[in-house]
Structure 1
Amino acid sequence: MFKFLETFMVVYKTRSFSLAAQQLFITQPTVSNQIKQLESQLHTELFERRSRREIMPTKSADILYHRAAKILDSWHDVNTEIMNAEADETQHIRFGISQTVSRILFSKIAKQLKSDFPELSYDVEVSNSEGVLNQLEGYKIDVGIIEKPLVTENINRKSIGKDQLVKAGINTGTWITREPGSGVGYYTDQYFREADIQPKKIIHVNNSGLIRRIVSQGVGQALLSDQDIPENVPAEKLGTNFIRDFYLVNRDENKDDAILQRVEEIIKVAESQN
């Protein structure tokens, strides 16, 4: 039931089974099946299928959406209490981070965590920025670090560092970019609008490391962090509109958690060392 609710919340927000599948890293038939099973259990229709790609939530879905977060919140509390009891109160944090953060920042954070909190255990889930936010809302992670400026209800967002984007690669008319929902994808679309660029070809890749390797082979251009430029690849620094923030995001109910406040300080130290 709880997995179905998590899937439902993403479908409700995206208004799309396919986008929900991308963000949850599962197949579209799996998303459709989970929604059907949830509808069967509730004896109601949650989404009106207007076309193959267009769906609209019903009144029942509106009611469920506002209740689902509280249900998942309670379930998360139960899991946390059980985990703490079994772990003899050992602190555990579930991180969700964007791919850029995973490439240029999190290893430094991990080193600092080891130094400052040797008894702390943690897991790390890598996704795009919207995926991290959805995982946070669905209580799959405790804290996220992203670079896309997302805002949503009951989620705290605080800037904890800066990152300069550059245009890297050879101008072949081809651009390599991330998938919708990612920070790099967001800023690449912004760059196309501001520079009035209409690429001859766009290649979408859902892995930042692979984009970097494709650019290094002379296939085309991409926006990359200035801390992640491949060797011997030409790069052009962009304007201040493309200095992006790293954001720490967490739910309202744990905003005063002492360990999270210390994690925020650690992230700032790690980011300053870049």
Structure 2
Amino acid sequence: MFPLLETLVAVYEVGQFTLAADELKVSQSTVSSRIAQLEQMVGAPLFVRNAKSDVTPTQAGRMLYQTAIGIDGLWRDTREQIARVQEAREPLAVSFSHTTAAILLPKALPVMARNMDGFDFAVHVMNSDAILEQASMKAVQLGVVEKPIVNDSVDRVTLCEDRLVLAGEPDGVWMVREHGSGVRYYTDLYFKTAQVVPARTMEVSSNAAIVAALSAGFGQSLISEAAVPAGVPVQRELGDEFVRRFYALVPRSGLTHDQRELAETIIAALRG
């Protein structure tokens, strides 16, 4: 409907189909077709075709023109109102570590979906140390990490426990996460406590990539028990020191009341 009325306004104001087509950046045949559709809809001619391509609006054309510009004004006002509402939405950036993204993010997404009218969400995946840094700078309003890190500018909330296991082929290449990740912290702890000196290691900065490699029968790695792919052998369960916790990090300042309230709602969902 809007293209039809837009075409009517253009023809009415410039007085020619050809000039209206140039203004709208469409073909003259398109302009003619749209006016013909409108005339069929209202059951009356809208323009009288004169010599030299000029057109004169009929009474019906003048009436529809007045209605069209009213609709156009209302449409523009409504778009501006919607834009103001959109601009009024608050940002909420949430960062998950690689393992927590695989295990806990599905619990957070429904909460975010229910609040999309009032918030613009951004979800990032990075290692735990990077999340702490981002939360400290208030670049994210909520972080979810997999190792017990904290500083004076964030509050830490315990979410749940997660058991790590050694999975994959016993003689396979050790796939280890990058320094700063939660799993790398525990992998180094395992090497130290089990007195393991791996002959071959490969640093892989994606937990999903490690899980995919294990699924394909390549290598071995320390991963969350909840993330072990079907069919991948678990070599051994580890001691209680490898039952880690997932934590939420929330900046102590810089959040609006609504941001903090929603962060607490997401945390409650993650703990459930």
Per the TM superposition, whether the score is higher than 0.5 is yes
Structure 1 residues 118 and 90, CA gap change in structure 2 (3 angstroms):
closer
Which residue is 1:240 aligned to?
A: 240
How far does residue 197 in structure 1 lie from its aligned partner after superposition?
1.0
Structure 1 residues 265 and 164, CA gap change in structure 2 (3 angstroms):
farther
Amino acid at match of 1:143: L
- What is the CA deviation profile of residues 80-112 of structure 1, one whole-angstrom value per residue up to 9, with x for unaligned ones? xxxxx8845323201121111211111221113
1:127 aligns with 2:126: yes
User: Are the aligned partners of 1:160 and 1:264 in contact in 2 as well (CA < 8 Å)?
Assistant: no
CA distance in 2, matches of 1:263, 1:126: 17
Structure 1 residues 222 and 127, CA gap change in structure 2 (3 angstroms):
same
User: Are the aligned partners of 1:112 and 1:270 in contact in 2 as well (CA < 8 Å)?
Assistant: no
Matched residues, percent identical? 31
- What is the CA deviation profile of residues 242-267 of structure 1, one whole-angstrom value per residue up to 9, with x for unaligned ones? 11111111222157845434433433
1:1-274 matches, cutoff 5 A: 87-115=86-114, 119-172=118-171, 174-235=173-234, 236-254=236-254, 257=257, 259-272=259-272
CA distance in 1, matches of 2:250, 2:208: 26
How far does residue 117 in structure 1 lie from its aligned partner after superposition?
6.2
The alignment of Structure 1 onto Structure 2 pairs a total of residues equal to 189
User: For 1:227, what is the secondary structure of its paired residue?
Assistant: helix
User: For 2:174, what is the secondary structure of its paired residue?
Assistant: strand
Amino acid at match of 1:248: A
Structure 1 residues 241 and 265, CA gap change in structure 2 (3 angstroms):
farther
How far does residue 139 in structure 1 lie from its aligned partner after superposition?
3.2
User: Are the aligned partners of 2:145 and 2:248 in contact in 1 as well (CA < 8 Å)?
Assistant: yes
User: Are the aligned partners of 1:98 and 1:129 in contact in 2 as well (CA < 8 Å)?
Assistant: yes
Structure 1 residues 146 and 226, CA gap change in structure 2 (3 angstroms):
same
CA distance in 1, matches of 2:243, 2:186: 10
Structure 1 residues 118 and 256, CA gap change in structure 2 (3 angstroms):
closer
User: Are the aligned partners of 1:91 and 1:121 in contact in 2 as well (CA < 8 Å)?
Assistant: yes
User: Are the aligned partners of 2:144 and 2:246 in contact in 1 as well (CA < 8 Å)?
Assistant: yes
Amino acid at match of 1:260: R
Q: TM-score, normalised by structure 1?
A: 0.62
Indicate the structure (1 or 2) with the bigger Cα radius of gyration: 2
Provide the alpha-carbon RMSD of the alignment: 2.4
Amino acid at match of 1:226: E
User: For 1:199, what is the secondary structure of its paired residue?
Assistant: coil
CA distance in 2, matches of 1:136, 1:194: 32
How far does residue 193 in structure 1 lie from its aligned partner after superposition?
1.2
User: For 2:150, what is the secondary structure of its paired residue?
Assistant: coil
| Unmatched 5+ stretches in structure 1 | 1-84
CA distance in 1, matches of 2:271, 2:242: 17
Amino acid at match of 1:230: P
Amino acid at match of 2:159: I
Amino acid at match of 1:238: L
Between 1:152-161 and 1:246-255, the stretch displaced more is 246-255
CA distance in 2, matches of 1:99, 1:202: 20
CA distance in 1, matches of 2:187, 2:238: 11
CA distance in 2, matches of 1:267, 1:173: 38
- What is the CA deviation profile of residues 9-45 of structure 1, one whole-angstrom value per residue up to 9, with x for unaligned ones? xxxxxxxxxxxxxxxxxxxxxxxxxxxxxxxxxxxxx
User: For 1:253, what is the secondary structure of its paired residue?
Assistant: coil
User: Are the aligned partners of 2:141 and 2:259 in contact in 1 as well (CA < 8 Å)?
Assistant: no
CA distance in 2, matches of 1:157, 1:220: 34
- What is the CA deviation profile of residues 201-247 of structure 1, one whole-angstrom value per residue up to 9, with x for unaligned ones? 11110011111122223332111111111110011322221111111
User: Are the aligned partners of 2:154 and 2:250 in contact in 1 as well (CA < 8 Å)?
Assistant: yes
- What is the CA deviation profile of residues 57-83 of structure 1, one whole-angstrom value per residue up to 9, with x for unaligned ones? xxxxxxxxxxxxxxxxxxxxxxxxxxx
CA distance in 2, matches of 1:185, 1:222: 10
How far does residue 114 in structure 1 lie from its aligned partner after superposition?
2.0
How far does residue 190 in structure 1 lie from its aligned partner after superposition?
0.8
How far does residue 198 in structure 1 lie from its aligned partner after superposition?
1.1
